[in-house]
Structure 1
Amino acid sequence: MDAPTAKSVGALIRGARCARRLTQTQVGAACGYSASAVSRIESGRLQIDYFRLMQFAAFLEIPLDRLALAPVPPGGPVDTVERQSDEEDAVRRRELLTGALAAGATVALGASPAGATSGPVDPAASLEEVLFRLPSAAPVPLARLTQEIAKARADFCAARYSTLGQSLRGILGAASATRDATTGREREMAGVALARSYVLAAELALKQHDDTAWVAADRALTVARASGHPVPIGESSRVLAITMRRSGRCPAAVRFLTQEAGDLDAGQAQTGAVRTTLMLTAAYTAANGRDRTAALDLLDAAEEETDRWQAGVPSGLFTVDATRAQVDVYRIGVLTALGTPDEGVEVAARLDIDRMPTPERRARAWTDTARMWHALGDGRQTFAALRRVEHEAPQEVRRPALRALTSDLLYGSARVPGIREFAARTGALTA
């Protein structure tokens, strides 16, 4: 049998997508690609690395044995890693995929903890125990680990935070054990998987204003640096800087972010995209520190870089995107933080939130819009934006920051029809 080409792998992905009645946009949003990039992958004009292939397989439920002969692109997940021989690659893939299909894996990846029901009120409640004392776990096949992390990422993008919190315990333990038990290229790939697991933990803790975000973000960056991969290093740096901002260290966080951005190549799609997200986070951080000049300069620079590389190869980032729409969302947030929310109204008017790729990103955009209207004293518009957050992601609107905003509307001087029912439904109504 001839080894499958990029074209035949693309045909397999296209067939699985069509069988599930999914659009290229939906698949791309789940796997970190644009619709046009998915089109190029399906036609064989764009080849993806092994890690990304496993993400597509996880989302589309493609049996792993059907990908057993899929070629690993030169350089594997990153160009800096020396490629093994074709024969070694083939043997390794067969071993990994056979292991992934075998029964009896030690760690029940993706399973809910014993006694779990629909999940705690605080999805990050169990993170502290896990982060300070990782549960014992045995190594698992790298393909299996990659698939479970892809599922966890899908839970984050869909704002299924309770499900994500329940699955992270097994994922973190298994990813750590797998990284420690491997060497060479496998260790680097397992390191990327572990770093991104910690990034998910940090993102979840940040959304719940949980102090464990510090621990998760610091571990993510430590593991990412050890792997040597620039994209997870940038992703980890971003979440660590957010924890710095939350603790009031805005100038230090801005310096850290700009230094990390300076180490990334703006000319490559993935590193350029991460660089853009670091600059956007730095802009919002500077705005929180009331540094208007730095905030707007960083925003403008991020917008220029986005326009330069976005038309090229897709970025494939993990928890955020770096698009012109995302720049506009940050601009609304920056202007609100600077105390000039009126300047954000025009930006909000041109922003098509419905076209943003994931429920989590759409909910985030509506959150920043709600904050803008709240700062302008328009309760009805604020409530309308909060209703859109709930429509996109019901668990998002129960976050502490959103409940506080809802309480402000509920107990404010202006009457907002429907706010009491909304507050009761979302946990913002106090006794």
Structure 2
Amino acid sequence: MDVGLTRVDIGSILRGARCAARLTQAQVGQACGYSASAVSRIESGRMRLDYAALVRFAAFLNVPLDRLTATPVPDAPTVDTVERPLGEEDAVRRRNLLTGALAAGATAVVGAAPAGAASGTADPAAGLEDALFRLPSAAPVPLACLVQQTAAARSDFCAARYAALGRALPGLLAAASATRDASSGRERERASMALARAYVLAAELALKQHNDAAWVAADRALTAARASGHPVPIGESSRVLAITMRRSGRSPAAVRLLTREAADLDAGQSPTGAVRTTLMLTAAYTAASSRDRATALGLLDEAREETERCQAVPGLFTVDVSRTQVDVYRIGVLNALGTPDEGVKVAARLNIDSMPTAERRARAWTDTARMWHALGDQPQTFAALRRVEQEAPQEVRRPALRALTADLLHTPARVPGVREFAARTGALPD
């Protein structure tokens, strides 16, 4: 039985269950016999599972098997009846089990179908992997033209036009790389800055789609940023690299990277002070993801004090700095710490409409939706998801949002309009 051929969005369901259990992709992969990157591909729909593997994932994440197969499964295994693999002996057992499944005719298909093919959604970052490992041919362009192209790509990101951004990035990366290579002196530094920011956008897009290309893009962003010698793109690149580290279960190392880079930036200057604040905000959420409450709240307070000292700074590349942004991060931190109830008062004072970009407003409503979902208030969750769609229709089609929407379909309390919303946004197969 090739489970990947069913009309169920298996990846979204598994990711939703993993996030609800507050497990990393590495932890789930270790338990089920897969790497963290393989779990990422499974969750994004780019890797199919054979039946035996699907049983292991369902058991470990305590997901009813018939929810994943769209077929009632009698006596489906539960987390209590399936042993979780531990240690070397269990790794051998996992390999034997996989070998037996393959001999029986079960097949694991990697990359056989593009992400979202079954649900009518497409991964805007799908073309990045090929482009990153082999950039298209491009000639150098005048530096002013390169800066203009980078600004246009940034505008697509800030407006949450991810499909357009995904189409533009390969050409932009190629042109920026060719221009950097053909330049020298100050021109080369400026071209390196543009290249770094193009890679930052590539990393941001890949992160939104849970695409493995984020690692490559973030690493290249930081390399180009350091070559530019400018502290602002170095900070911007460090931030996206740290997020990829967090996503792979390396939160403590990511916090160290962020705080070290923040310490190197001048808090009293603009825009370095603003970039420093964004690094502390990301570090706070990263610390919270590993349940380090003291560090997370301490970094949040430090970021808020920094924001009080410097007014909102326009023109930061992907993240703004404002009191509202700090409050949005506070809600996300409290969600990650498992205390979403503490975020209700914070949410009540939010003025999301004051945030400068559609992408940031949509992310604020996303964190609010997650807060209400964790509190079991499904109507409020759905209301927040509707606001995400109003702000940025492509944002609500991301894997994480589709997983949250799919989960609403399976709650005991039925919320009017959810099924139609799920079908419209790709969380429910057509």
Q: Normalised by the size of structure 1, how large is the TM-score?
A: 0.71
- Alignment partners' CA distance in 1, 2:226 and 2:398: 31
Q: CA deviation at 1:413?
A: 1.4
Deviation sequence 1:238-275 (CA, Å, 0-9, x none): 00000000001111111111001000000001100000
**Larger RCO: Structure 1 or Structure 2 (Cα < 8 Å, ≥ 6 residues apart)?**
2
The match for 2:160 is 159
The answer as to 2:264 corresponding to 1:263 is yes
Q: Does 1:276 align with 2:277?
A: yes
- Two-structure CA RMSD over aligned residues (Å): 1.2
Q: Is contact 1:195-1:223 (8 Å) kept?
A: yes
What are the ranges of 5 or more consecutive residues in structure 1 without an aligned counterpart? 1-118
Shift of 1:315: 4.7
Alignment partners' CA distance in 2, 1:120 and 1:317? 30
Q: Take 2:402 and 2:348, find their aligned partners in 1: how far apart are those partners? A: 25
1:400 aligns with 2:399: yes
Equivalence for 2:350 = 351
1:162 corresponds to which letter in structure 2? A
Shift of 1:358: 0.6
CA distance in 2, matches of 1:342, 1:430: 33
Output the CA distance in 2 between the equivalents of 1:197 and 1:369: 29
Give the distance between the partners of 2:209 and 2:238, measured in 1 at CA.
Answer: 19
**Equivalent-residue separation in structure 2 for 1:279 and 1:191 (angstroms):** 25
Q: In the alignment, which residue of structure 1 is the partner of 2:208?
A: 207
Supply the AA of the counterpart residue of 1:211. Answer: D
State the SS of the aligned residue for 2:235.
helix
The amino acid that maps onto 1:223 is A
What residue identity is the alignment partner of 2:187? E
Contact between 1:257 and 1:278, CA under 8 Å: does it hold in 2? yes
What letter matches 1:250 in structure 2? S
Matched residue, 2:190: 189
Q: Is the 8 A contact 1:230 1:264 kept in 2?
A: yes
Q: Distance in 1 between matches of 2:268 and 2:161?
A: 34
Query: 8 Å contact 1:371–1:382 — kept in the other structure?
Result: yes
Aligned pairs for 1:220-369 within 5 A: 220-310=221-311, 314-369=313-368
CA–CA distance in structure 2, aligned partners of residues 262 and 351 of structure 1 = 29
SS in 1 for 2:271: helix
Residue 375 (structure 1) aligns with? 374
Aligned length: 311
Q: Whole-Å Cα distance in 2 between the matches of residues 254 and 317 of structure 1? A: 21
State, as a whole percentage, how many aligned pairs show the same letter.
Answer: 80
TM value normalised by structure 2:
0.71
Distance of 2:170 and 2:260 partners within structure 1: 32
SS of the equivalent of 1:159 reads coil
Paired residue type of 1:169: P
Is the CA contact (8 Å cut-off) linking 2:121 and 2:426 kept in structure 1? no
Question: 1:129 corresponds to which residue?
Answer: 130
Q: Match of 1:290, SS? A: coil
CA contact (8 A) 1:241 1:257 kept: yes
Q: Which amino acid aligns with 2:385?
A: L
Match of 2:142 in 1: 141
Give a deviation string over 1:85-122, Cα, whole Å, max 9, x none: xxxxxxxxxxxxxxxxxxxxxxxxxxxxxxxxxx9711
Letter in 2 for 1:357: P
Structure 1 Cα separation of the partners of residues 422 and 256 of structure 2? 39
Runs (4+) of structure 1 moved beyond 6 Å? Answer: none
Letter in 2 for 1:338: L
- Partner-residue secondary structure (3-state), 1:269: coil
Contact 2:397 2:425 in 1 (8 A): yes
**Cα shift at 1:344:** 0.3
Instruction: Tell me, yes or no, if the aligned pair for 1:269 and 1:310 is still in contact at 8 Å.
Output: no
Q: Which residue of 1 aligns with 2:385?
A: 386
Equivalent residue number for residue 56 of structure 2: none
Between the aligned partners of 1:150 and 1:120, the Cα distance in structure 2 is 27
